[in-house]
Amino acid sequence: MKFKMALAGVFVAGFVLPALAQGTTSFYVVQDPRTKTCQVVDVKPTSTETTVVGGDGMVYKTRTEAEGSMGTATVCTTR
């Protein structure tokens, strides 16, 4: 009985963990202050050479959503 419960737990974990890992990607719109160009990145910028457009709290769930926001941002002169 204990073996069956442990086996069931392993199967559940095998299905749930990949689904959770897939949904953790975040996208950011960053700007190079020297050239004023913007780009979408999937890693939170930590350097001072780029600025997150829309503040540090602006995180997008999809790349399409971030690109749409970049198109409407007035601080981005070229893409």
Q: What is the pLDDT of residue 79?
A: 46
Q: What is the pLDDT of residue 46?
A: 82
Among 5-14, 20-29, 38-47, name the most confident range: 38-47
Domain layout of the chain by residue ranges:
2-72
Q: Is the pLDDT of residue 73 over 80?
A: no
* Structure-model confidence comparison of residues 16 and 62, the more confident one: 62
Residue appearing with tokens 């503040």:
55
